[in-house]
Amino acid sequence: MSELLNPQSWPATPVTDTDLRVDCHGCTARPVACGDCIVTYLLGSPPEGVELDPQEQAALEALADAGLVPALRFHPPTV
């Protein structure tokens, strides 16, 4: 089974000390994970993407860990 099709294999989004830019159009998990992603859940599919600072990342991770919202399913394209 493809790793993208198995939500249990998706790693938790690491909280870093840098901003994270989530661009839905460039997300490699988009075909299978959009419906279960916190960005889509809260914002739809934003045309310009969103930038999350470390505090926002931590807050979203806490909400997801508590089962209140879906986790971030963003997978940036590899070069």
pLDDT digit string, tens, across residues 17-62: 677 777 777 788 877 887 788 887 777 777 777 888 888 888 888 9
DSSP letters, 9-56, are GSPPPPP-SS-EEE-GGG-TTHHHHGGG-HHHHHHSS-TT-EEE-HHH
| pLDDT above 60 (res 64) | yes
Rounded to an integer, the average pLDDT of 68-78 is 78
Read off the pTM.
Answer: 0.52
Is the per-residue pLDDT at 14 higher than 60? no
Burial label, 75 (beta-carbon count in 10 A; 0-12, 13-18, 19+): middle
Backbone torsions φ then ψ of 49, nearest 5 degrees: 80, 180
